[in-house]
Structure 1
Amino acid sequence: MSPRTVHDVVAHHAARRPDRVAVLCEDRAVTYGQLHHSSTRTANAMHRSGVEAGDRVAYLGKESEQYYDILFACAKAGAVLVPVNWRLTPAEVHHILLDSGTTLLFADDEFLDVTAKLKADLPRLRRIVPIPALEQWRGADDHDLAPTFDEAQPIAQVYTSGTTGNPKGVVLAHRSFFAVKAALESHGLDWIDWRDDDISLIGIPGFHIGGLWWAIQGFGAGITMVSVPVFAGHETVRRIRELCITTACVVPAQLQMMLAPPRPRRTDFASLRKVVYGGSPISEALLGRCIETFGCEFAQIYGLSESGNTAVCLPPSEHVPGGPRMQAAGRPYPGVDVRIVDDAGNALPTGEVGEVCLRTPAAMLEYWGLPDATAATLVDGWLHTGDAGYLDAAGFLFIRDRIKDTIIVAGENVYPAEIENVVSAHPAVLEAAAVGVPHEHWGEVVHCFVVPRQGETITTRQLVAFLRGRIADFKIPSGFEITDSLPRNPSGKILRRELRERFWQHLERRVA
């Protein structure tokens, strides 16, 4: 029987294939037997440090084999992993650690100075463990904890950008990482499949739901997962060629990076049999170049952190250049329902555009500490996505726009309020409005309209300098427009869609 909880995964495969490499990171290889043994010692050390079931344990670092050691240790100890985006500013990191109530933090050396300064304002944080010192810290206690937690228990708290500027913690149970795999297997579908000799690339960072979900899928199948500290296009092509990687999960921007000049040859991807991509929609032109160059199957996944990552898939059979469904997000997995609703929550018929709602066994448990936001997003078992789309007669979902104001930059969610709050703090700025505009490489980038205070002048260079260090670099607008006023509706709300229109009017799909 396949494992259904994260803590069962590594024990299951350590008993059956202890010498199989579980994680390959740079030139370091860790087998399933070693990963099971080391994560048990880390879990025992967590308990010695006072970590109890349900406590939050954070990881602030780049991709590494230690990240997955800590993931499995959290599962064995009953703790909840909080992966932190290392690209965030100290203020953004502080919010996540404070909001989650993190009690134990693992951090790369390069982030220790920052976290040490933050610790005084984090009342629940008892200890910071440098990741390079993990082996010494965990000690030799390897007695089996025999965890009894079931698949409904939380295992991860992934932070997404917030509509009011503060990220929200999406709490995910063990079941969120196994429901799709079980559904595909039970129906004999190979949309996303695993073979015993697969070697799989984790292209999406582990602090992102897509990267964490993909890693657990591979570990669940008992294959070798290739972890990269920082994604680089040409270096990834080299890894695929030299390691004979067979499967990969990436965002469209990473596909673009791999095809950048000097363009790789098709022989570089001879071992690759399937690429799974998601995080943001892909242009048909880029997908066509990928199909031609990679020479393998492609599967698109659609979902969000709140849906436990993927809820809809465009299977390889539909990836036909010029085909009728190349613009579709896909069709729901078995056991997942999709419906389109109007503003009043009424279901709309086939072909009509409305808000996309999902009912999935992988859905989040809650937004951490935000019952009102949870209730507004999860309504009678249906997850309201904030995306606008429609269903065709065959049940394929097409995304057309966003109801929420999310901007997706290379797979990273950004909300306008985050940008506007910081830009408006500049003494020369009266108000600001941020929107997403199309970008060939990154899908979307942030464009900000700025109204100066009366008698003040301000330049793009001054605004960029002001934002450095206040928000993460990927959130800094790539363009600014100084304007006298912003369009508003009768109630005073900024009409962002009107600001976006001239950037998107030539495109059928109003999201990247």
Structure 2
Amino acid sequence: MGDAPGFPGAFLESLENDPASVAFEQGERRVRRGELLAMIRRIAAAMREAGLGPGKGVAVRTEVTPEAFAAHMAAHALGCRVVGVRPGYPAAHLAHVLGAGNDAVVVDRSTAAEVRGAAGPLEVLSLGPCPGAADLLAGPAGPPLAAAGRPDDVAVLAFTSGSTGRPKGCAITYRALRAHWAWEPDMRPPVVEEMARGFERYLLFGTLASLVVMEFLGACLVGGGTAVIAEDDGRPAFPYAIERYGITGSIATVPKLCRMLDLLRDAPADVGSLRALMVSGSPLAPHRLAEAVERLGPVVYQGYGQTEAGSISMLTPADIAGRPERALTSVGRPHPAVEVAVRDAEGRDVGTGREGEIHVRSPYLMSGYWDDPDETRDVLRDGWLRTRDLGRTDEDGFLHLSGRTRDAVMVNAMVVYAGPIERALAAHPGVDEAYVAGAPDERTGEAVHAFVVPARAQAAPDPDALREWVRAELGDGSVPRTVTFVPEVPVAPSGKPDKRALLALLAPHAGARGPGQGPEPF
């Protein structure tokens, strides 16, 4: 990389080189690249005045707006450690994330009240006038920015959903982001460049705290595209915002894709503008992937990655067209900069075709978990990351996933761990034992199902009361889809609870969305 500017230097240069083109579209509003650059400089000047700079921590809890994105980029330009705060954290988790080495927190009018009670001693900065907070947009635009991030400093602290009991922070360095194809066009292999060209009009939704959302937003903007923030018209964005705004590219969770396919079957919409749709976050059934390709055309990509490792592999339309019988059951081939090894429990490579745990090495791995050296040592060894996912590679280089070494469920593209839910349920006075397992679900990828042995001395508690109990402890994402009462738990030959046998007890209607299940995240 030589003397190339550090992150986000290439992005700032792209704004300066094309000031007249539109970066963001939100309703009738258009924010041109030159205006976005001026906004970033203004916010950076105010942040610098507040004492922020290399090594300082800045949490950002806002809605999805051009100003919010500008705040992220301004903090990065100053060399800060940026913590995107996900919506929906319970109060204790929010306080934990805000307290993870941050010096300030950025809010907007919609989030100020939520954050103020958990901010503690942090300085509160706002995007626009807000009582008790310094307005980052009130001052003049600052001077041109040079990327000040030190290569080995943490650029992004990406926290998990908190379903592990408390959120874990994955530390991504400035060096890693400088090597990432999303922000650095010279790092893009041809297959990624082809996909990125499809993001000329990118449907932006969700939260900027998501590395995946930011990854594809970067690919769009650096490539000269426009990020479209759709206005809510009461209809699902997939497919109706695609039709209304002429969207050419977006990302979609498996639930979003499946719901769109169902809607298109009953009420067709014109989605012919699509050129690239990246599906990620949870396993997609082969028959659903085939249906998506048949309905949408050769525009469907499938990605596999982790917060700890970034994007690991990608399945392309060309892969699907060339070897559909093999490609449809895979998550594609690893990116050129990514090495994948499949190893047994002793850490030995098992070779092509055999199943084992997937290990990954790449320039953009996390440097570790924030303030958690034991967990870091467990997953990072000799430059390799243990993904804790099981799979195999075939003779054509495709990666196939088969399960997880960890007891987890992937709900709406979020990892939900069984242990904390089991502990929460078992703490209820009406419960003697509780076990949790996941099962495939077309709308949420997978769903959480709880199996409860009621306390012997009293009637079984109300299922909705148990769901609310879990919600209060762990948040919406961990709420079980179903709660099944059992007199005792079947035991496997190993002596452990037999969760497969428990799942076999589910009623045929168990896949329906229960009254206690939280809303979809997007």
Aligned-pair CA distance for 1:334? 0.8
Alpha-carbon distance in structure 2 between the residues aligned to 1:111 and 1:476: 24
Identify if the C-alpha distance between structure 1 residues 192 and 385 changes in structure 2 by more than 3 Å, giving closer, same or farther. Answer: farther
**Code of the aligned partner of 1:169:** G
Q: Partner of 2:92 in structure 1?
A: 91
SS in 2 for 1:12: helix
Match of 1:397 in 2: 399
**Aligned residue number for residue 479 of structure 1:** 482
2:200 to 198, 201, 223: 198
Q: CA deviation at 1:193?
A: 3.0
How has the CA–CA distance of structure 1 residues 353 and 423 changed in structure 2, closer, same or farther, with 3 Å as cutoff? same
Verify: 1:220 aligned to 2:222, yes or no: yes
* Cα deviation, residue 186, structure 1: 6.2
Q: Which stretch of structure 1 is more off in the superposition, 232-241 or 137-146?
A: 232-241
From the superposition, tell whether residues 210 and 53 of structure 1 become closer, same or farther in structure 2 (CA, over 3 Å). Answer: same
CA distances 1:224-268 after superposition (whole Å, capped 9, x unpaired): 122358898633433322322211112111112323436477761
Judge conservation of contact 1:63–1:229 (CA < 8 Å) in 2.
no
Q: 1-side partners of 2:299 and 2:373: how far apart?
A: 41
Matched residue SS, 2:461 = coil
In structure 2, the partner of 1:417 is: 419
Aligned to 1:115: 115
Corresponding residue for residue 165 of structure 1: 165
151-160 vs 192-201, which moves further: 192-201
Contact 1:203 1:249 in 2 (8 A): no
Please identify, of 392-401 and 460-469, the stretch whose mean Cα deviation from structure 2 is larger. 460-469
Distance 1:399 1:266 in 2: 33
Q: State the partner residue of 2:516.
A: none
- Residue number in structure 1 paired with 2:257: 255
* Mean Cα deviation higher: 439-448 or 57-66: 57-66
2:29 aligned with 1:32, yes or no? no
Q: Give the Cα–Cα distance (whole angstroms) in 2 for the partners of residues 62 and 267 of structure 1.
A: 28
- The match for 2:60 is 59
Counterparts of 2:293 and 2:37, CA distance in 1: 38
On the 8 A contact 2:357/2:391 being kept in 1, the answer is yes
Give ranges in structure 2 of 5+ residues lacking alignment: 507-522
Query: Structure 1 residues 256, 451: CA separation in 2 closer, same or farther (over 3 Å shift)?
Result: same
**Residues of 1 paired with 2:358 and 2:209: CA distance?**
25
Offset of residue 146 of structure 1: 2.7
Aligned to 2:338: 336
Pairwise CA distance, 1:303 = 0.9
Q: Which amino acid aligns with 2:58?
A: V
Task: Give per-residue Cα distances to partners, 1:399-453, cap 9 Å, x unaligned.
Answer: 0111112211111111112322332332222332222111121111111122333
Distance 1:351 1:184 in 2: 33
User: In structure 1, how many angstroms separate the alpha carbons of the residues matched to 2:4 and 2:195?
Assistant: 16
Give the aligned residue type for 2:39: S
Instruction: Provide the alpha-carbon RMSD of the alignment.
Output: 3.0
**Structure 2 equivalent of residue 508 of structure 1:** none
Are the equivalent residues in 1 in contact too, given 2:124–2:134 (CA < 8 A)? no
> Is 1:460 matched up with 2:463?
yes
Distance across 2 between alignment mates of 1:296 and 1:395: 21
Give the structure 1 partner of residue 83 of structure 2. Answer: 82
Give the percent of matched residue pairs that are identical in Structure 1 and Structure 2: 27
Give the SS at the match of 2:325: coil
SS in structure 1 at match of 2:386: strand
Residue 376 of structure 1, aligned match among 375, 378, 385: 378
Aligned to 1:23: 24
Match of 1:129 among 114, 126, 138: 126
What SS is found at the alignment partner of 1:268?
coil
Q: How many angstroms apart in 1 are the aligned matches of 2:157 and 2:367?
A: 10
Q: Distance in 2 between matches of 1:276 and 1:4?
A: 29
Match of 1:510? none
CA shift digits 1:123-156 (9 cap, x unpaired): 4x12253666599433114123433325544221
Partner of 1:154: 154
8 Å contact kept, 2:93–2:162: no
- Bigger shift: residues 345-354 or 479-488: 479-488
SS of structure 2 residue aligned to 1:470: helix
What secondary structure is seen at the aligned counterpart in 2 of 1:395?
A: coil
2:160, 2:494 → 1: CA distance? 28
CA contact (8 A) 1:272 1:296 kept: no
Cα–Cα, structure 1 residues 365 and 222, in superposed 2: closer, same or farther, change >3 Å? Answer: farther
Change (3 A) 1:176 1:224: farther
What SS does the aligned partner of 1:259 have? helix
Q: Aligned partners of 2:206, 2:289: CA distance in 1, in Å?
A: 18
Amino acid at match of 1:21: V
TM-score by length of 1: 0.88
SS in 2 for 1:207: coil
Letter in 1 for 2:136: W
Q: Answer whether contact 2:9 2:146 (CA < 8 A) is retained.
A: no
Kept after mapping to 1: 8 A contact 2:290/2:328 = no
| Residues 25 and 229 in structure 2, CA contact (< 8 A), matched pair in contact too | yes
Q: Deviations over 1:343-375 (max 9, x none)?
A: 111110221111111111111111111111111
Conserved? CA contact 1:355–1:385, under 8 Å? yes
Shift of 1:162: 5.8
CA drift at 1:388:
0.7
- Paired residues of 1:23 and 1:225 also in contact (CA < 8 A): yes
TM-score (norm 2): 0.86
> Residue 176 and residue 283 in structure 1: after superposition, are their counterparts in 2 closer, same or farther (change >3 A)?
farther
Separation in 1 of the partners of 2:189 and 2:110?
A: 46
Correspondence for 2:326 among 324, 327, 336: 324
